[in-house]
Amino acid sequence: MAKNARAPSGKPATIHDQNLERGQGGELHQTAGAGTPLLTTAQGGPVADDQNSLKIGARGPTLMEDFHFREKMFHFDHERIPERVVHARGYGAHGFFETYESLAQYTRADLFQRPGEKTPAFVRFSTVAGAKGSFDLARDVRGFAVKIYTQEGNWDLVGNNIPVFFIQDAIKFPDVIHAVKPEPDRSFPQAQSAHDNFWDFISLTPESMHMIMWVMSDRAIPRSFRFMEGFGVHTFRFLNARDESTFVKFIWKPKLGLQSVVWNEAVKINGADPDFHRRDLWTAIQSGNFPEWELCVQLFDQAFADSFDFDILDPTKLIPEEVIKPIPIGRLVLDRMPDNFFAETEQVAFMTQNVPPGIDFSNDPLLQGRNFSYLDTQLKRLGSPNFTHIPVNAPKCPFAHFQQDGHMAMRNPVGRTNYQPNSRGEGPREDPVRGFRSFREPVDGPKVRQRPESFADHYSQARQFFQSQTVHEQRHIAMALTFELSKVEDVVIRERMVAHLLNIDEALATTVADKLGIETLPKPADAAVPTRDDLPVSPALSIILNGPKSFAGRKVGVLVSDGCDAGLLKKLRAAMDKEGAMVELVAPKVGGVKAADGTKLPADHMIDGGPSVLFDAVVLLLSQEGAEQLVGEAAARDFVADAFAHCKFIGFSAGALPLLAKAGVTPDEEDVGLIDLEGAAALSRFVESCRQLRLWTREASVKL
């Protein structure tokens, strides 16, 4: 019940008015008590279970006859027009997928048969919660949806930059999105999870705790689409020509390595450039620095699935890369922007059920529900069952069917016969050999609304993720939780979340509780399965431990003034160009400056519009007179102070010392991130230092 809703007695309803019961899978049920309205369908039918979709056995496939799930998801899919209910803010690009080696041993999917073959692709990156007009650097999950136009139909790998999800059953998807969206009575906050509704839902949904660790980590504020991983989330199947099954999980790994920003930086970037991620992708492709990822797979058989510590059908769990090493099987390259944003990026329709022969589904209940849901969504958004007639959605291989008419039909069957079977021998026919075949998995069990007991451990992998982070990343998670929960008005919700954190890491829970002013720790939340503390750390889960080995693809902001050293700037440009990085000039005026040798240097930004948060490293290339003039400029002081506080490497000329001093930054031997560029080897040392991206040891001293 919403916070301000009224119970039949006329009193405000709170969580204390609810009867809570825990199901076999650890999920919480709020049951109707005395005076509490009974949950019904839109037709008025009483609902017995709103937590689980109807399946054959606890781990079996979802049944089409589940009218409650169908109605709930149908209504949810049609709540918004015309933007997407989720992933509304997106940006896309064209490219290709190139297969490395034949995978015929595992799959008969056509695109994996011929080494070196390139298949057209379209990719859309997005945030989940915000509207179309929201900002790019919200703390949020990022969509990573790939449409590959294979010779046997379109394959849509509709994933995220996080390998797990909030919920285990698709019937809960409308609830988690309703909770994270702006609160319905006030329509804010926009593109933020820092509010009561979201954390109320999360604190009553223990299965979300693993995902919460990811969303509160730096994974949720990536530096760029180009520097983030993508995951298929679910377990799929490969089927070979003999219909033999191999389970598979898909991972996209960026060639440029992983990188995120810090929260204070994200806030300022959203103010300086709310299109930061869009601009970055556009600039990279237009300049020929084509973003690239490797598609990697984790392959395993039924024996592994049966022996693994967690259920491979549970979308809130992952398989650590140290347990099954991802195998690179191809690469994705983005090399062309859409000709028209609306025609392609806005109208592209992804659906998890779009798979070519040789790729099949598992019984993951979230995946099963997504397969059911996406078609409804496209009909609502694009207004017609003929959305596949839109070029970006149309297959690039030959296709034929008897579907006809409908709103905005662009093509129809030709001739008299529009059905089959027919006695004329006209029209397309099915092919049992080449056509899609599902894995013939034996399924047996009662029709139940039930979560399997193997889904019930909600804390162990959350703890494993937190323990796998570096000290700096753990601090960021604690800061994120503190910030988010500080925006929650209901103290009970804050305490409930701390109770969950106690099941993940006591030091984390204690830190968050202290920052929130919770003097007495609550008892740990009731856990359906005790948290395991024997899971080994997984270095693959850390961004810092998987950063780049070069500064390629990054950007240096150079603050210049009249009288600066043009020769040093030329050497810096050459060094960064060799590294594969970009240099942009920031000046007091956008018209630029005049160097000491009289050279006119046009600027890319004026200081007020080019803050240091837009760059990965900065250089202060100033004459002493220029620095003294900038000392009085707040934007110039912030340029230096923010770069220092955000642990960036700072190169400087001798003339910049007055500005450094005014910004409270004093070069000394203890901070190796402040590099005097005078001297033969200084520039090389600066470039080499920048490959680390951040000087994290500085973070404790700036206490951002």
Does some domain include residue 111?
yes
Does some domain include residue 45?
no
- Mean pLDDT over the full length of the chain: 93
pLDDT at position 222: 98
pLDDT at position 223: 98
* Cα–Cα dist 136/571, whole Å: 34
Pairing, β 359-361 against β 19-22? unpaired
For the stretch 557-610, pLDDT in tens is: 999 999 999 999 999 999 999 999 999 999 999 899 999 999 999 999 999 999
- SS3 percent helix, strand, coil of the chain, rounded to 5, is 30, 20, 50
**383: region left, alpha or beta (phi > 0 left; psi from -120 to 50 alpha):** left
Verify that 288 and 352 share a domain, yes or no: yes
Verify that 532 and 557 share a domain, yes or no: no
**CATH code of residue 298:** 2.40.180.10
For the residues 162-178, what does the mean pLDDT come to? 97
Token pair recorded at residue 156? 């849509």
pLDDT at position 657: 96
Verify that 298 and 266 share a domain, yes or no: yes
Name the nearest CA neighbour of 381 among 149, 71, 67, 87.
87
Please determine, for residue 537, whether its predicted confidence score (pLDDT) is greater than 90.
yes
For the stretch 340-352, pLDDT in tens is: 999 999 999 999 9
Verify that 668 and 623 share a domain, yes or no: yes
Higher-pLDDT residue of 408, 99:
99
Q: Which residues, at least 6 apart from 103, have a Cβ–Cβ distance to it below 8 Å? A: 109, 112, 113, 238, 329
Domain extent for 96: 74-389
pLDDT at position 430: 82
Please determine, for residue 13, whether its predicted confidence score (pLDDT) is greater than 70.
no
Q: Choose from 64-73, 115-124, 386-395, 676-685 the range with maximum mean pLDDT.
A: 115-124
Residue with tokens 């009193």: 11
For the residues 470-476, what does the mean pLDDT come to? 98
Residue with tokens 């049951």: 31
- Position 18 confidence tier, pLDDT thresholds 50, 70, 90: low
* Cα–Cα dist 42/68, whole Å: 9
Verify that 180 and 96 share a domain, yes or no: yes
371 flagged as catalytic: no
- Position 80 confidence tier, pLDDT thresholds 50, 70, 90: low
Higher-pLDDT residue of 419, 198:
198
pLDDT at position 413: 82
Q: Which of 52, 68, 154, 160 is catalytic?
A: 160
Verify that 332 and 286 share a domain, yes or no: yes
Pairing, β 292-300 against β 327-336? antiparallel
pLDDT at position 34: 73
Verify that 642 and 510 share a domain, yes or no: no
87 flagged as catalytic: yes
For the stretch 616-638, pLDDT in tens is: 999 999 999 999 999 999 999 99
pLDDT at position 46: 78
Last residue of a domain, one of 513, 544, 575: 544
Verify that 360 and 246 share a domain, yes or no: yes
- Position 380 confidence tier, pLDDT thresholds 50, 70, 90: confident
* Cα–Cα dist 589/583, whole Å: 17
pLDDT at position 25: 85
Verify that 222 and 323 share a domain, yes or no: yes
| Domain total of the chain | 3
Q: Are 512 and 482 in contact (CB under 8 A)?
A: yes
Verify that 537 and 563 share a domain, yes or no: no
Buried b (16+ CB within 10 A) or exposed e, 420-436: eeeeeeebeeeeeeeee
Does some domain include residue 677?
yes
Token pair recorded at residue 190? 């926009």
For the stretch 663-678, pLDDT in tens is: 999 887 678 999 999 8
Does some domain include residue 637?
yes
Does some domain include residue 69?
no
Does some domain include residue 642?
yes
pLDDT at position 17: 43
Last residue of a domain, one of 515, 544, 573: 544
Please determine, for residue 15, whether its predicted confidence score (pLDDT) is greater than 70.
no
Does some domain include residue 34?
no
**CATH code of residue 529:** 1.20.1370.20
Please determine, for residue 81, whether its predicted confidence score (pLDDT) is greater than 90.
no
* Cα–Cα dist 222/125, whole Å: 12
pLDDT at position 668: 77
Does some domain include residue 14?
no
User: What DSSP state is assigned to residue 342?
Assistant: I
**CATH code of residue 620:** 3.40.50.880
Last residue of a domain, one of 389, 408, 425: 389
For the stretch 259-303, pLDDT in tens is: 999 999 999 999 999 999 999 999 999 999 999 999 999 999 999
Verify that 268 and 380 share a domain, yes or no: yes
Please determine, for residue 704, whether its predicted confidence score (pLDDT) is greater than 80.
no
For the chain, percent of residues with pLDDT exceeding 90: 80
Please determine, for residue 11, whether its predicted confidence score (pLDDT) is greater than 80.
no
Verify that 357 and 326 share a domain, yes or no: yes
pLDDT at position 284: 97
pLDDT at position 609: 94
Q: Please report the beta strands in 76-195, taking only residues with DSSP state E, as ranges in sequence order.
A: 90-99, 118-127, 142-150, 153-160
